[in-house]
Amino acid sequence: MSTVLTGCDLFGSDDEEPAVDEVVVIGTQVDSDFLNTGQFGLSATPLDAGGSAILADDIDTEVDLRVAEGSGSAQLEQSIDLVASVEVDRVRRPSGNDLAVPVNLDGSGSMAGNDPDRDRVQATEAFFDELESSNVTFESAVFEFPGFSTDPELNFTSLYQDFTSDTDLLREATDQAGSSGGTPMWESLDELIEYSEDERPNDSFEKAIVLLGDGIPNAGIVTREEVCQAANDANSPIYGIGFGPASDVSEMAESAAVEEMRRISECTQGTYIGVPDENLENAFAGAFAGMAQGTSQGSLSFNVQVESGLEQVQEQGVERLEGTLRVTSGGETVEGDFLFGVPEANTSGAFILR
C-alpha cells in the first residue's frame, strides 16, 4: 500500500529546492464524515538522493484519485471522474535530537487468527532495520499488551526490551510476541507514555509511539480521550498500524476497530495506516518503513479536497479509493501510492464501513 517510485522529470521544473528522489507515503486520516466533506488527510515524506527529507510547505504536489481496482468495490454502473486538490496542512520537522520510539504490539487472543504466521514480528524487525539505516540516532523498546507483570510499574503491558539502540536485542524481544488474553489498548498506551517519560535515555530525545492493533479495545479504567491528552502533554504522537478488523482496506474490516485506530492516531497528530490482507508480511514491512521515515526524518501532512465525483462514489457504493501523490522539487517528480476504505455515516451518525 505504501510504495516508493524513483524520480523522473515529468514537468521540467527548474526550481531551487533540492531535487526529490523518492516519496514515502506514510498513511491517511479519513474522518467518518468524508462523504459529506470530501476531505481527508495524507502524510508523506519526500526525500532527496541523500535520504534527507524535503519539508517545504510550498512544495509542488498533485493528487490523482480513483476507484480502487480489485479491492472489493461494487461493480460500477458508470465510470467516476474524481478530481481532487491538495495543499500542505502541517510540517512536522524533526528536532534534530535523538529519537526514542517504543513499539507496542497487540498480543491479544485474536492474533492467533488474524496473524497466524506472526508476520507482525518480521515487520517490526524491518522497522528496526529501517531506523538503523536512517540518519538519526535512536533507541527503541518493545512492549506487548495484554501484560503479564513483567515490570512492577506495568499492569497491562509486557515489557520485552527496555530502551536500547542494540537492534539484535530489539529483534530478539520482538520474537516473544504472543496471542492470548484481552485488548487493554488504552491502559497499555497510558502506561507506555508514562514509561517513556520516565525511562527514555535522555529528556531531550524526540518521542513517538508505534502501535500495532487488530481490534476494539476492551472497556476499562482508561479512555481514548485520556490517552490522547497524555500523549499530547508528552508531545508523543502515536503512529497506528491497523490490520484485520482494524484495517480499513481489509475484507475483515470492522467499523468500530478502524475508527478507534484512526482516532488515536489523529488526536495525537500521528498517522494511521491500514494494511491489506494479501501479502501481509510485505504490507507490514511497507507500513513500518513509512513510520520509520516519518518518525526519524519528519513529514508533511497534506489536506486533500475532493472537488468532484464524490456523489457518484456514494451512489455507486464504492468501498475503497486509491490514489497517487505526485511531488515535484528541484526539477524532478516522484510518485507514491495510497489506499483507503470509504466510510459511510448511517442515520444514527455512527461510523460504519461499506
What span, in angstroms and rounded, lies between the C-alpha atoms of 60 and 147? 46
Q: What is the pLDDT of residue 120?
A: 86
User: What secondary structure, in 3-state letters, does the chain show?
Assistant: CCCCCCCECCCCCCCCCCCEEEEEEEEEECCCCHHHHCEEEEEEEEEECCCCECCCCCCEEEEEEEECCCCCCCCCCCCCCCEEEEEEEEEECCCCCCEECCEEEECCCCHHHHCCCCHHHHHHHHHHHHHHCCCCCEEEEEEEECCCCCECCECCCEEEEEEECCHHHHHHHHCCCCCCCCCCHHHHHHHHHHHHHHHCCCCCCEECEEEEECCCCCCCCCCHHHHHHHHHHCCCCEEEEECHHHCCCCCCCCHHHHHHHHHHHHHCCCCEEECCCCCHHHHHHHHHHHHHHHHHHCEEEEEEEEEECHHHHHHCCCCEEEEEEEEEECCEEEEEEEEEECEEECCCCCEEEC
pLDDT of 15 strictly over 70: no
Query: Hey, what's the cell of 202?
Result: 535522555
- The closest alpha carbon to 138, from 199, 230, 202, belongs to 202
Q: What is the pLDDT of residue 10?
A: 37
Q: What is the pLDDT of residue 119?
A: 84
CA dihedral 214, 215, 220, 226 (to 10 degrees): 60
pLDDT tens figures, 112-152: 888 888 888 888 888 888 888 876 789 999 999 998 766 77
**How many CB atoms lie under 10 A from the CB of residue 112?**
12
- Top pLDDT among 150 and 11 is at 150
Q: What is the pLDDT of residue 6?
A: 38
Residues 6+ apart with CB under 8 A from 284: 119, 120, 122, 123, 124, 126, 241, 243, 275
pLDDT tens figures, 321-351: 999 999 999 999 999 999 998 986 543 334 3
pLDDT of 249 strictly over 50: yes
pLDDT of 11 strictly over 60: no
Q: What is the CATH number of domain 99-297?
A: 3.40.50.410
**What rounded mean pLDDT belongs to the chain?**
86
Which segment of 217-221, 302-306, 326-330 scores lowest on mean pLDDT?
217-221
Mean pLDDT on 158-172: 94
Q: What is the pLDDT of residue 77?
A: 58
> The whole model's pTM is what?
0.80
pLDDT of 174 strictly over 50: yes
Confidence of residue 269 (pLDDT cuts 50, 70, 90): confident
Q: What is the pLDDT of residue 5?
A: 39
pLDDT tens figures, 49-96: 998 899 999 999 999 999 987 644 555 656 899 999 999 999 988 877
- The closest alpha carbon to 160, from 122, 208, 96, 107, belongs to 107
Domain map of the chain by residue range?
20-93+302-353, 99-297
Name residue, grid cell 514509561.
195
261: left (phi over 0), alpha (psi -120 to 50) or beta: alpha
Q: What is the pLDDT of residue 236?
A: 93
Mean pLDDT on 279-289: 78
Q: What is the pLDDT of residue 338?
A: 93
What span, in angstroms and rounded, lies between the C-alpha atoms of 237 and 308? 33
Query: Hey, what's the cell of 238?
Result: 502515536
Q: Are 196 and 224 in contact (CB under 8 A)?
A: no
Confidence of residue 222 (pLDDT cuts 50, 70, 90): very high
